[in-house]
Amino acid sequence: QNKIVLIFFIVGILIIAGISAFTVYTLQKMSGTIDVSIPIRDLLIISAIALVLYILITIVIKYFVSKSVVKPINRLIESAEKMAKGQNMEMSNILNEKTEVDELVNAFNLMTRELNQKLTEVNRQKKQIETILLHMTDGVIAFDMNGEIIHINPAAKTLLGLTDKEDTFEKMFKKLNIDVNLEKIIYLENWTSSEQKVEVGNKAVNLFFAPFQDENDKPTGVMVVIQDITEHVKLDNMRREFVADVSHELKTPITSIMGYADTLLEEEYDRETQSKFLSVIASEARRMAKLVTDLLTLSRYDNNKIKKEVTQFDLGDLTKECQEKLKFEIEKKHHNVECFVTANVPPVQADKDGIERVILNIISNAIKYTPENGTIKVYVGFVYNDAYIKIIDNGIGIPEKDLSRIFERFYRVDKARTREMGGTGLGLSIAKEILDRNNGTIDIKSKLNEGTEVVIRIPTKTNNSSSHKDLMRCFFISSKFILLVFN
């Protein structure tokens, strides 16, 4: 600033001297008298006065320049150095190495690089957050204080079925018939319900409202998080139905047992009547015991408390043994049951007791739901790496609308008939659990009043299947070798 003021001062003196000389000369020319001595005297007087005024003006200008320009620049340089290098450097060391202009340029360069790094980091974090929000399964919507949408991810649009028309807080939740108020959420957070459950189409969603604030803890908007809780609601409903079904299934035999027992206690009956009542009590007790046993079995499977005893066995022999065990029920209904082993089935590696239970359950169902003198055919075969059992009957069949639910617990197509035949509604659920734990599958096809086809697949022993592949490979290699020899 001293150099600037000095240059300004010298230039000012020259300008003042020139103007003074021109002014005196002009005045004398206009008066018609030109005296050399007078101009010099007048010039010196005028110049002196102008010089004094100019010095005063220069001092004032220097003061204002120093205060308004130089000092802010010095502070900016110092702040830039602190921001860029993260430490306090003495200005004297810097001034010894660089000029003031270079100092300012370098400080700005350092500050620019630092700001670029910060902006790059902020952009990177912004992109990460946008990517997370874009691929989140939960919906997220941010509203400003006026209810305008700041951000919305695709999941929110899908879960709430939104269009471009619902672009404000009021329009969006008015469409969903949700009574929420933006001001209450922002200013009365502790007194307002921040969570609501609603149904949108065939989905159940949970909405969580939370106000967000700026760095000064002032509210700036509301964030809404949308969660799809459809599966949770279904599971909760299934649990309630399960408890209700268990209560109902246990209540029925208990009521019968209590009724017949109270009747026997109140009066004396002949032996035949007593035997009849006692047989009903015993039958209902066995039914209740079977129901409790099935429930305990399912509970053990759910809690992984049943240990599998994996053994190697022949599926065809096991199927024939199961048919033999059900011989009495088959003869009672005069069914024609045939079992065919259609191929050389490799040994099966699975839990033999569990697979036996599945086979008994499926054949038993075929016997129960096939009218007298019906036909039941059982095929045991091998396809690729799976052994299979196919049970075909010409019974009453299952309606198509019920096929997707027959593996649900306590689901029965005809509850009255199933209860009359002693079923608990848990047999197929247990069968599916057993097969799932043995890497097997079960498929059911059926037509009402035409019959049912059940196919059970169980993986065969791995070593055996690999040995078959090895034999086939050897066969092809030997065949090629023989062809080459003959050629």
Tens digits of residue pLDDT in 452-462: 999 999 988 75
Of 219, 197, 215, 193, the closest CA to residue 206 belongs to 197
Mean pLDDT of 63-80: 68
pLDDT-derived band at 466 (thresholds 50, 70, 90) equals very low
Model pLDDT, residue 107: 76
Q: Are strands 386-393 and 441-447 parallel, antiparallel or unpaired?
A: unpaired
Tell me what the mean pLDDT of segment 113-131 comes to. 80
Condensed to tens digits (0 to 9), the pLDDT of residues 425-464 reads: 788 888 888 898 888 999 999 988 889 999 999 988 754 4
Q: Which tens digits make up the pLDDT trace of 80-105? A: 666 555 544 544 554 454 455 666 67
Q: Please tell me the predicted confidence (pLDDT) of residue 40.
A: 60
Whether 413 shows a pLDDT value over 80: the answer reads no
449 touches 428 (CB < 8 A): no
pLDDT at 79 over 70: no
Per-residue 3-state assignment (H helix, E strand, C coil) for the chain? CHHHHHHHHHHHHHHHHHHHHHHHHHHHHHHCCCCCHHHHHHHHHHHHHHHHHHHHHHHHHHHHHHHHHHHHHHHHHHHHHHHHHCCCCCHHHHHHHCCHHHHHHHHHHHHHHHHHHHHHHHHHHHHHHHHHHHHCCCEEEEEECCCEEEEECHHHHHHHCCCCCCCEHHHHHHHCCCCCCHHHHHHCHHHCCCEEEEEECCEEEEEEEEEEECCCCCEEEEEEEEEECHHHHHHHHHHHHHHHHHHHHHHHHHHHHHHHHHHHHHCCCCHHHHHHHHHHHHHHHHHHHHHHHHHHHHHHHHCCCCCCCEEEECHHHHHHHHHHHCHHHHHHCCCEEEEEECCCCCCEEEEHHHHHHHHHHHHHHHHHCCCCCCEEEEEEEEECCEEEEEEEECCCCCCHHHHHHCCCCCCCCCHHHHHHCCCCCCHHHHHHHHHHHCCCEEEEEEECCCEEEEEEEEEECHHHHHHHHHHHHHHHHHHHHHHHHHC
115 Cα distance to chain centroid: 36
For residue 463, the model assigns a pLDDT of 44
Say what percent of the chain tops pLDDT 70: 74
The listed range with the strongest mean pLDDT (45-59, 334-348, 461-475) is 334-348
Higher pLDDT, 251 or 417: 251
Please state the rounded mean pLDDT for residues 173-202: 74
Residue 331: CA count within 13 A, CB half-sphere: 5
| Residue 35 pLDDT level (bands cut at 50, 70, 90) | low
Q: Which of 75-84, 106-115, 119-128, 294-303 has the lowest mean pLDDT?
A: 75-84
Q: Which of 230-234, 244-248, 375-379, 389-393 has the lowest mean pLDDT?
A: 244-248
The more confident residue out of 468 and 251 is 251
Question: What pLDDT score was predicted for residue 192?
Answer: 54
Question: What is the predicted pLDDT for the residue at 293?
Answer: 83
Whether residue 289 is predicted with pLDDT greater than 50 in this model: the reply is yes
Instruction: Compute how many other C-beta atoms are within 10 angstroms of the C-beta atom of residue 38.
Output: 13
Q: List the one residue out of 153, 150, 142, 243 whose CA is nearest residue 185.
A: 142
Copy the structure tokens of residue 479. 């065949």
Give the mean pLDDT of 73-77: 70
Q: How many whole angstroms separate alpha carbon 25 and alpha carbon 34?
A: 8
What is the maximal distance between C-alpha atoms in the chain?
169
Of the given ranges (26-40, 109-123, 333-347, 470-484), which has the lowest mean pLDDT?
470-484
Query: In terms of pLDDT, which residue wins out, 378 or 296?
Result: 378
Which pLDDT score, from 0 to 100, does residue 379 have? 93
Residue 458: strand pairing partners: 387
What percent of the chain shows pLDDT beyond 90?
10
pLDDT at 181 over 90: no
**What is the per-residue pLDDT for 302?**
75
Q: 137, 160 in Cβ contact below 8 A?
A: no
Average pLDDT estimate for 324-333:
90
Between residues 410 and 344, the one the model is more confident about: 344
Rounded Cα distance between 230 and 227, Å, is 9
Q: What is the mean pLDDT of residues 1-13?
A: 69
Answer whether residue 375 shows pLDDT above 80: yes
- In this predicted structure, the answer to whether residue 166 has a pLDDT above a threshold of 50 is yes
Count of beta carbons in the 10 Å neighbourhood of residue 39: 17
